[in-house]
Amino acid sequence: MKHIEQKLVNWGEWMRRREDNGLGFGNSPMARLMGASARVDACSSVPVDEIEASKTDSAVQSLPRNLRQYADLWFVQQLPVREVARKGGCGTATVQVRIDQVVLGVARWFEARHQLIEQAKRMSEKKTISSLDTKHV
């Protein structure tokens, strides 16, 4: 699940850049200093894969509304646990449970997507083999 968490961290960075009109690039060093969050990620200046972030956004959008809120508060806004709890209307102990639910929901979305792609490939291969068989008969 660590790779899913990393996808969500990258998605959060992508969302912040979009909101800052950064067009995929971080804002100025002074702006970053002025708006530094409580949880600064050491790799926040690393380029974000736009396609992967877009897929992750689709996964997040498929979550129930309350989990989308937690994804935004934690990964996009990077709020501390107490602030996430306050805005989410839960106790601080519940925040990690909700974040785990976000990660699990996104993981399930990617797994379902992978299965659909594999199924489509198999069907395409069957059609190709079938068309080859009818041409050679």
Contacts of 11 (CB under 8 A, 6+ apart): 53, 56, 57, 60, 75, 76
pLDDT at site 18 = 87
pLDDT at res. 30: 44
CA dihedral 122, 123, 128, 133 (to 10 degrees): 100
Query: What is the rounded distance in angstroms from the CA atom of residue 73 to the CA atom of residue 104?
Result: 17
- The CA-to-CA distance between both ends of the chain, in Å, stands at 50
Encode the chain (137 residues) as per-residue pLDDT tens digits.
Answer: 899 999 999 999 999 998 766 554 444 444 444 444 444 444 445 678 899 999 999 999 999 999 999 999 999 999 999 999 999 999 999 999 999 999 999 999 999 999 999 988 888 877 777 676 666 55
